[in-house]
Amino acid sequence: MTTEIILLKNFEQALAKLKDGVDKNLKSDIEKSGLIKYFEFCFELSWKAIQKIARTKGISDEIASPKSAFRIAFSQGWIQDEVKWISMLNDRNIMSHTYNFLDAEKVFLKIPDYSLEMEKLLIKLKM
C-alpha cells in the first residue's frame, strides 16, 4: 500500500470518528473535548493529504504549511471555501496552543460544518 493510500485511509477513519461524534448529542465537557481532539486529528490529516497528493500528481513540492496546502487545494478545486479552511486552521491553533473553555465551546459548535468540508475534500482527493 502506498503512503498516499495509507494517509487517505487514516484521514477517512479519523473523519468517520469525527462524524460519529457529531451525530451524537454530546453533553459532557470530556465528550466535547474528545470531539475537538478528533477535529484536530482530521485537520492535520487533511492538510497532509493535500500535501502528499499534490506532490504525487506533480502539482507542487512546495507545501510546507496548512495555508500553502489550502491555496493549492483551492486552485485545484479540491476545496471550495478557502476562508473556511483558514478559519479551521485558526481554530485548530487555538485549541492546540491556548486552550480556553469559552473558545472550546465556540469551536465545538463549528465542528459539524467543518466535518462536512473535510468530507468534501476527502471525496475530491480520492478521485
Look up the CATH number of the domain holding residue 100.
1.20.120.330
- Ramachandran quadrant class, 41 (left: phi over 0; alpha: psi -120 to 50; beta: rest): alpha
- pLDDT given at position 99: 74
- pLDDT given at position 76: 95
Domain count, the chain: 1
Residue 75 cell numbers, joined: 486552485
- pLDDT given at position 79: 97
- pLDDT given at position 107: 96
- pLDDT given at position 67: 93
Q: Distance between terminal CA atoms of the chain?
A: 17
4, part of any domain? no
Residue 46 is part of which domain span?
29-126
95, part of any domain? yes
Q: Can you give the C-alpha Rg of the chain in angstroms?
A: 14
- pLDDT given at position 1: 75
Cβ–Cβ < 8 Å for 13, 41 = no
- pLDDT given at position 2: 87
Task: Give the distance between the most distant pair of CA atoms in the chain.
Answer: 45
Average pLDDT per 10 consecutive residues for the chain, totaling 127 residues: 89 96 92 94 96 90 89 95 94 87 94 97 94
The pTM is what? 0.92
Q: Which of 118, 112, 31, 48 is nearest to 78 (CA)?
A: 118
14, part of any domain? no
The torsion defined by the Cα of 108, 88, 22 and 98, in degrees rounded to 10, comes to -30
46, part of any domain? yes
21, part of any domain? no
